[in-house]
Structure 1
Amino acid sequence: MSQKPTLFTSLSPALLHLYDLQNAVVVIIDVFRATSTIASALYNGARYIIPVDAVSKAIEISKKTGGIAAGERDGKLADGLSHGNSPLEYKRAFIENKVLVLTTTNGTRLLQMALDQGADTIITGSFPNLSSVCSYLLQQNKNVVLACAGWKDKFNLEDTLFAGAVISRVQEHFSIHCDSSLMAAYTYNCNKADLLGFAKNFTHYHRLVDRFGYIDDIAFCLQEDRADVLPLYREGRLVNGKNT
């Protein structure tokens, strides 16, 4: 009987260095809202997305590529950018056949960290593309690290909840000896009947809803398979892996 690949969950970018990302599929998870926005833009026909870790870089690259510079800092539109980090902003009529250059507080920074740490394969995950993430992990049959973006290196529940959703679907095919993974799966299984109701307790829910009114964004970000694409990182770009 062949040995199963391993699966680990990193609950924060501050913990990512503890995991071996080489020869593994790393799933970047930033549910509220970067990886949900990435799924939405690709689903609605974006040519590709260039994730960057600085606003200045987003502006510079968008000028070179003719792309749309977009993103946020601390939940609000970043200074110097005309488009934000809302998955609802990237409707087909706006984004189809265009390039999106995206920078966010947590998610795009984490992706860069994974690259710096020698990640072999990187995809991004969110509830809107849950099924594609799970199918890809099963198909690859490689070690997996579910990397939660959290909030400024702190733990958050929404990313952990998504990690739990993935684990609950794929766990039979992996060797999981990882308390953070067990906790993530338990949290998801206890709350999957009403994710939005559970989310009303979350710190980032209140940050986004109370301050900015982004309740529709939150609802989108918690809907499974609403934008079921596979954002796959290749040569500086996130492309829809289902089309490659």
Structure 2
Amino acid sequence: MKSVQVCLSPALLPFYELDDAVAVVIDIFRASSSICYGLANGAKAIIPVADLDECLPYRGNGCLVAAERNGEVVEGFDFGNSPFSYTKENIAEKTVVLTTTNGTQAIRRCLAAKRVVIGSFLNITTLSDWLRKQDHPILLVCSGWKNHFSLEDTVFAGAVVNRLKTDGTVIDDAAQAAESLYLEARGDLATYLRKSSHHQRMQRLHIEQDIAFCLREDLVSVIPVLEGKELVCLNEPAAPVGRP
């Protein structure tokens, strides 16, 4: 019997059993979206690190270093976590070392899981189809904002719950709540998520185009999976990658 749970904040991860779980890390605005897009566009690997200092040894060693804090690119780094930086022209055949305010922190906290994969609207169908075939418990991990609940990550988790749920699926209360939010939002995700705090934060930074891009469904057909310290493609793109 399949089990699907939703962790609404990385701060709650100590209360979940990770050992046998497939952990799906979600950071819709924008890390998980950019990771999916970057690997689909030919990045050799993306290495998620927690701290800025962890990026520095990679500088000048054939890697691109990317850092975002509070929605903005950190000075001195090649770029941040906007999907518009993760185009084929910028990153094909390159390794990117990435640190972000929320997403890479959540990935690092999931290292004890059986497997760690990355979810976004960009790869939602490919991801959901793959998760449906897994024999392990599924834990959808919302990266949130500095350990606080985030609406966009939870709505995405609810969309995945909705796709995975069958009569035999065991889901927890957080998954029930996430699905309810998704069902309320799905008619117009963009309008619904305008009230999210991170959407408003990104508007103040004049990066609304990133918001629209991150809500595009099924733009890519890759599933980023953590192998050692690197995120790589679990599967190859089945179709040409769309452009922002």
State the TM bucket, normalised to the shorter chain. over 0.9
Query: Equivalent residue of 2:218, what SS?
Result: coil
Letter in 1 for 2:230: R
Within the candidate set 125, 129, 140, 1:146 is matched to: 140
Letter in 1 for 2:229: G
- Residues 69-91 of structure 1: per-residue CA shift (max 9 Å, x gap): 00201111123312111011111
Which residue is equivalent to 1:86?
A: 82
Which residue is equivalent to 1:47?
A: 44
Could you tell me how far apart the structure 2 residues matched to 1:57 and 1:8 are? 31
Which residue is equivalent to 2:241?
A: none
Structure 1, gaps ≥5 residues long: none
CA displacement at 1:227 relative to structure 2: 2.4
Within the candidate set 71, 76, 87, 2:72 is matched to: 76
Letter in 1 for 2:42: G
State the superposition RMSD in angstroms: 1.4
Q: Residues 170-209 of structure 1: matches in 2 within 5 Å?
A: 170-172=164-166, 175-209=169-203
Correspondence 1:11 to 2:8: yes
Within the candidate set 14, 23, 36, 2:33 is matched to: 36
CA displacement at 1:145 relative to structure 2: 0.5
Query: Equivalent residue of 2:117, what SS?
Result: strand
CA displacement at 1:242 relative to structure 2: 0.3
More helix by share: 1
Could you tell me how far apart the structure 2 residues matched to 1:223 and 1:11 are? 22
- Residues 173-229 of structure 1: per-residue CA shift (max 9 Å, x gap): 76334111001111111111211111111100011112x111110001111111231
The sequence identity of aligned pairs, in percent, is: 38
Could you tell me how far apart the structure 1 residues matched to 2:213 and 2:56 are? 27
- Residues 132-184 of structure 1: per-residue CA shift (max 9 Å, x gap): 21112112221010000000010010000110110111111763341110011
Correspondence 1:24 to 2:21: yes
- Residues 21-69 of structure 1: per-residue CA shift (max 9 Å, x gap): 11110000011100001011011111111111111111212433x1110
Could you tell me how far apart the structure 1 residues matched to 2:132 and 2:76 are? 41
User: Residue 34 of structure 1 contacts residue 107 of structure 1 at CA under 8 Å; is this kept in 2?
Assistant: yes
Which residue is equivalent to 1:162?
A: 156
- Residues 89-120 of structure 1: per-residue CA shift (max 9 Å, x gap): 111111111111110011101111111xx211
Which residue is equivalent to 1:215?
A: 208
Which residue is equivalent to 1:99?
A: 95
Could you tell me how far apart the structure 1 residues matched to 2:49 and 2:168 are? 31
- Residues 7-30 of structure 1: per-residue CA shift (max 9 Å, x gap): 110000111111101111000001
Query: Equivalent residue of 1:46, what SS?
Result: coil
Could you tell me how far apart the structure 2 residues matched to 1:174 and 1:213 are? 45
Query: Equivalent residue of 2:166, what SS?
Result: helix
In the superposition, the TM-score normalised over structure 2's length comes to: 0.93
Could you tell me how far apart the structure 2 residues matched to 1:177 and 1:132 are? 21
Task: Specify whether residues 10 and 61 from structure 1 end up closer, same or farther in structure 2 by C-alpha distance, changes over 3 A only.
Answer: same
Question: Which deviates further from its counterpart, 79-88 or 142-151?
Answer: 79-88
User: Residue 222 of structure 2 contacts residue 236 of structure 2 at CA under 8 Å; is this kept in 1?
Assistant: no
Task: Specify whether residues 136 and 236 from structure 1 end up closer, same or farther in structure 2 by C-alpha distance, changes over 3 A only.
Answer: same
Task: Specify whether residues 225 and 78 from structure 1 end up closer, same or farther in structure 2 by C-alpha distance, changes over 3 A only.
Answer: same
User: Residue 7 of structure 1 contacts residue 174 of structure 1 at CA under 8 Å; is this kept in 2?
Assistant: no
